[in-house]
Amino acid sequence: MVESPDTDWTDVRLHVVTGKGGTGKTTVAAALALALAAGGRKVLLVEVEGRQGIAQIFDLPPLPYEERKVAVAPSGGDVYALAVDPEEAMLEYIEMFYGMRRAGRALTKMGIVDFATTVAPGFRDVLVTGKTTEAVRRRGKNGRRIYDAVVLDAPPTGRIARFLNVTQEVAGLAKVGPIKNHSELVNGVVKSRETAVHLVTLLEEMPVQETLDGIGELRSAGLPTGCIFINMVRDSLLPQAALDTAVKARFDPGELVLGLKAAGVADGAQAVAMAEALAEEVAEHAHRTELERAERESLAGAGLKSYDLPLLADGVDLAGLYELAESIRTQGAA
Ligand SMILES: Nc1ncnc2c1ncn2[C@@H]1O[C@H](COP(=O)(O)OP(=O)(O)O)[C@@H](O)[C@H]1O
Ligand SMILES: [Mg+2]
């Protein structure tokens, strides 16, 4: 284990990553885990939605319900991954608290596990979050934590506050006994300063709105908000002055015609047609940039730190994942 580097989130051990579906939750969680592990640390990446997204992203066969090393971080450091299976988590739980492994198996056969997890989704959640917070708290023989950090690829923004607010969700279910004790233990970690809930968004209206709503819900539930990862950010292709002109629809295709001719790209009618098509694209690009600027302003209103992650032109392969991790590190997020 190496000393914690000085980053914006040095004291955080549990990084919960949420966001609207499709914005890059799994991708950002994986990149964050790599970034946190860089330089010789040990990080666990947990997935809870049963999609095997982590295996896919690291180009591996489906993960068993078991912590396994999935990647080596830049300049050393290991990323382990765990795909939590709620049913297995329930059996483990039954064994841990009642010493009834075999009874647990019988309960599965009888469908009671299914029953309990569908009738009481709060119970299912507390098992999954319990598994995660156990990894956060786990210590080795020397008394030191096994993992320097745990990153949770969490449910989407619309469900995150309920998912993490475990004591609330099981309150009606268990007033006393091991479930209550367990949920209070989980709650202790989730609401502590060691936890931060990060939100992934795109600079588009719907995900930004969901992000702002999510932040509001997290805050009213007393859950610790972290940062905003603005994913798939595109570089602006033109200087601001050109964009301003284009937005006001005063972009002159005539100038483009001259430019195309001068560069020897096209001539005559072809140059005119090309210039018109280009002018349209410029206007579109300018319009989008303008909308993105507005979305950025709305996000800033939430008062959280934010980091930009670039849109990777070739999609997210392993190399792309390391590129995102590097971007997270250079911005000081990890
Ligand atoms: N920065 C990025 N650049 C390019 N493609 C991205 C980026 N982030 C995510 N993606 C792609 O977007 C899609 C959704 O990402 P994923 O992480 O699976 O989202 P989620 O977990 O939120 O559903 C995937 O195909 C992923 O490869
Ligand atoms: Mg995902």
Residue 311 CA to ligand 1 center (angstroms) comes to 9
pLDDT exceeds 70 at position 118: no
Taking CB atoms and a 6 Å cutoff, what residues make up the pocket around ligand 1?
19, 21-27, 53, 231-232, 309, 311-312, 315-316
Question: Would you place residue 109 in the very low, low, confident or very high pLDDT band (cuts 50, 70, 90)?
Answer: low
Question: For residues 60 and 20, what is the distance between their CA atoms, to the nearest angstrom?
Answer: 25
Around Cβ 186, how many Cβ atoms within 10 Å? Answer: 26
pLDDT exceeds 90 at position 200: yes
The per-residue pLDDT for 112 is 64
Pocket test for ligand 1, best of 17, 160, 316, 322 (most atoms within 8 A of CB): 316
| Secondary structure letter of residue 19 according to DSSP | E
Q: What is the pLDDT of residues 22-53, one digit of tens each?
A: 999 999 999 999 999 999 999 999 999 878 99
Residue spans of beta strands (DSSP E) within the chain: 14-19, 42-47, 68-72, 78-83, 149-153, 195-201, 225-233, 306-310
The per-residue pLDDT for 251 is 74
pLDDT exceeds 90 at position 177: no
pLDDT exceeds 80 at position 282: yes
Taking all residues of the chain, what is their mean pLDDT, rounded to a whole number?
89
Mind giving me the DSSP string for 296-326? HHHHHTT---EEEEEPPTT---HHHHHHHHH
The per-residue pLDDT for 153 is 97
Residue 295 is encoded by which pair of tokens?
């979305």
Residue 321 CA to ligand 2 center (angstroms) comes to 14
Contact 199, 228 (CB under 8 A): yes
Q: Which residue has the higher pLDDT, 118 or 282?
A: 282
Residue 47 CA to ligand 2 center (angstroms) comes to 8
CA-nearest residue, atom 17 of ligand 1:
24
The per-residue pLDDT for 171 is 67
Contact 291, 39 (CB under 8 A): no
The per-residue pLDDT for 181 is 79
Question: For residues 197 and 228, what is the distance between their CA atoms, to the nearest angstrom?
Answer: 9
What is the average per-residue pLDDT within 150-168?
93
Residue 187, helix vs strand vs coil: helix
Q: What is the pLDDT of residues 58-80, one digit of tens each?
A: 999 999 889 999 999 988 999 99
Question: For residues 143 and 136, what is the distance between their CA atoms, to the nearest angstrom?
Answer: 13
The per-residue pLDDT for 257 is 92
Compute the half-sphere exposure of residue 82: CA atoms within 13 Å on the CB side of its CA: 24
Chain centroid, CA 182 distance in Å: 26
Query: Identity (one letter) of the amino acid at 15?
Result: H
pLDDT exceeds 60 at position 3: no
Residue where the block lists tokens 């233990």: 185
Mind giving me the DSSP string for 44-96? EEEE-SSS-HHHHHTT-SPP-SS-EEEEE-TTS-EEEEEE--HHHHHHHHHHH
- pTM equals 0.90
What sign has the CA pseudo-torsion 322, 79, 187, 89? Answer: positive
Measured from the Cα of 309, ligand 1's closest atom is 1
Question: For residues 117 and 186, what is the distance between their CA atoms, to the nearest angstrom?
Answer: 18
Q: What is the pLDDT of residues 231-269, one digit of tens each?
A: 999 988 788 888 888 878 777 888 889 999 999 998 999
Q: Which residue has the higher pLDDT, 88 or 308?
A: 308
- Cα-trace Rg, the chain: 24
